[in-house]
Amino acid sequence: MSFSIDEIQDQIIEEFQLFDQWIEKYEYIIELGKNLPDLDDQYMRNENLVPGCQSRVWLHAELEGGKAVYAADSDAIITKGIIALLIRVLSEQPPESVHEAELYFIDRIGLKDHLSSTRSNGLVSMINKMRSVARELAEVA
Amino acid sequence: MNLSIQPVVSGKAASFRDFDVEKIRSDFPVLHREVNGNPLTYLDNGASSQKPKQVIDRMTRYYEHEHANIHRGVHHLSQRATDAYEQVREATCNYLNAASSREVLFTRGTTESINLVASSWGRHFLREGDEIIVSTMEHHSNIVPWQMICEERGAKLKVIPISRAGELDMEALQGLLNERTRLVSVVHVSNALGTINPVEEIIKLAHQHDALVLLDGAQALPHMKVDVSALDVDFYAFSAHKMLGPTGLGILYGKESLLNSMPPYQGGGEMIERVTFEKTTYNELPFKFEAGTPNIADAIAFGSALEYYDELDQNELIAHEQGLLAYASGRLSQIEGIEFVGTARDKAGVLSFNLKDVHPFDVGTILDQMGIAVRTGHHCTQPLMDFYGITGTVRASFAFYNNQSDVDALVGGVEKASAILL
């Protein structure tokens, strides 16, 4: 059986509680970034590029069996690690759930700064795009 | 004879350890705070400098005791505020060794200063086929205004190439200059590389071709004194906030004859010329270019920033910053995989680098966790980044209030980032 968006968020929060120090947390995020498969070359296109001043993010989405499936990449490894978390939470979920999801885990694991507008790392735009794509997919479905 | 720029003293002449930096640091309240559980290491001075309490106090005092709108009030407060504001114009004139305070215009910042010239001078004087010269290492603020006005007037933008070290190709500049060149607009000190450009030579060459010169001095004045008369520069643009002053205030120095020949910048350009009352109101320099209530409080506080600089020994300041730069370069170069971007012979306190195969954003994020403030990214110099074939750099930029501990923290931070990210 698969977990809901909030169940996965709670799992991540629990995992991050194991880290006492920022460095362990970042090492884990970097590890996640390294383990996230690179986005297939055919999807590294400009139309999949999410605007961001500092690091660039590419996002590809498609509907598989009524679920929104996301694949993404970034040229910065910490951004990519956070992308891996977002994919774990939002990918393979019903598109309407993605569209309505409240992403509270980011704040709870102490990465809220990464989603502030000044970070310009493309993550805020990426989440917005994940949501808007989900809505489009929901309409198709 | 006036030296246009104080000589860059090598670290050998005066050790940076001789400079009483701890006494200076006690004037800067923010330097004593913590960030992410660590003492703040502030090395983002190229983006904006911190403020000494003298500047902060001056602004508070103004708002508590002296505030009124200036120039048109007959009452006591308005006259006091007008005096204070105009005294800072006079002080800025003296600081730059300009011929007259009518040559000192207050703007919102370097960007607006450049836009003022591009818009007012450009629209009035540029003709089809005329040429403007900039360089590869320009900030977008010294590219885009020229692109806009060139497009509007049918003029051409030419670009001085640079070497891998980050130095202007002066021979190429000579080749670019011709009878169609109207203006050369280059950065005095590069924000991304730290290169100090040979501005005396640029001005001499441009003037031989009857071309004007605008210098973007935003990154120069925080590090060195500039004498606009000795330089014989036509326009000089800079920002208060990068040199201890408040945000939102910039200066445009322009030769009086030039400024007199230019139409007003704000208020609708051509329309102002038809509104007789407006024209008579803004007819004289510098007010012609300062429509609306100016940034009174920030200008007055900027006066205290200039006083602060005046109390420092310029040679000691330069020696201190050069010492920090040399010490940081030496220590960082020991870190495996480090690649410096910009290795010009003459450099101000800016150190741009990358860790091999690591995105600058990742390095900046790790440094931030350790309370170290640097800038990462393209530094608003995308054509320069394209030249180097990179998306950005990590930039540590020094001010005279930085000390050896700041450099040690940076080195420790980059070592840690390298260990985590590589």
| Mode of pairing for the β-strands spanning B350-355 and B338-340 | antiparallel
Query: Of the listed A53, A64, A100, A110, which one is catalytic?
Result: A53
**Cα three-residue angle B252-B254-B255, rounded to 5 degrees:** 165
pTM: 0.91
Contacts of A120 in chain B (CB under 8 A): 377
Q: For the domain made up of B21-52+313-421, give the CATH fold.
A: Aspartate Aminotransferase, domain 1 (3.90.1150)
Report how many domains make up chain A: 1
Tell whether B140 is within 8 A of chain A (Cβ).
Answer: no
Q: Looking at this protein, which amino acid is placed at residue A109?
A: I
Q: Please, is B389 exposed, middle or buried when counting C-beta atoms within 10 Å of its C-beta (0-12, 13-18, 19+)? A: exposed
- Are B19 and B319 within 8 A, CB to CB? yes
As a whole number of angstroms, the distance between CA B363 and CA B8 comes to 31
Tell whether B197 is within 8 A of chain A (Cβ).
Answer: no
- Are B237 and B113 within 8 A, CB to CB? yes
Contacts of B36 in chain A (CB under 8 A): 22
**Which residue matches tokens 């990449």?**
A73
Architecture per CATH, B67-310? 3-Layer(aba) Sandwich (3.40)
Q: How far is B350 from chain A (nearest CA, A)?
A: 20
What residues does each domain of chain B span?
Answer: 21-52+313-421, 67-310
Task: List the CATH number of the domain containing A30.
Answer: 3.90.1010.10
Q: Please, is A139 exposed, middle or buried when counting C-beta atoms within 10 Å of its C-beta (0-12, 13-18, 19+)? A: exposed
Asked whether the beta carbons of residue A56 and residue B376 sit closer than 8 angstroms, the reply is no
Residue A136, number of CB atoms within 10 A of its CB: 15
Q: What contacts B12, CB < 8 A, 6 or more positions away?
A: none
Interface test with A, best of B358, B361, B372, B393 (most A CBs within 10 A): B361
**Which residue matches tokens 């080749």?**
B175
Instruction: Extract the tokens encoding B354.
Output: 């990358």
> Which chain A residue is nearest to residue B37, measuring alpha carbons?
A22
Instruction: Extract the tokens encoding A122.
Output: 């493309």
HSE on the CB side for B238, CA within 13 Å? 30
Instruction: Provide the sign of the torsion angle of the four alpha carbons B76, B78, B79, B83, taken in this order.
Output: positive
Q: How far is A76 from chain B (nearest CA, A)?
A: 5
Tens digit of each residue's pLDDT, chain B (422 residues) = 333 344 344 444 445 556 899 999 999 999 999 999 999 999 999 999 999 999 999 999 999 999 999 987 789 999 999 999 999 999 999 999 999 999 999 999 999 999 999 999 999 999 999 999 999 999 999 999 999 999 999 999 999 999 999 999 999 999 999 999 999 999 999 999 999 999 999 999 999 999 999 999 999 999 999 999 999 999 999 999 999 999 999 999 999 999 999 999 886 433 354 566 655 556 688 988 988 889 999 999 999 999 999 999 999 999 999 999 999 999 999 999 999 999 999 999 999 999 999 999 999 999 999 999 999 999 999 999 999 999 999 999 999 999 999 999 999 999 999 999 98
Asked whether the beta carbons of residue B359 and residue A26 sit closer than 8 angstroms, the reply is no
SS3 call for B107 = strand
Domain that holds residue A89: 5-140
- Among this protein's residues, is B150 annotated catalytic? no
Asked whether the beta carbons of residue A56 and residue B377 sit closer than 8 angstroms, the reply is no
Asked whether the beta carbons of residue B377 and residue A54 sit closer than 8 angstroms, the reply is yes
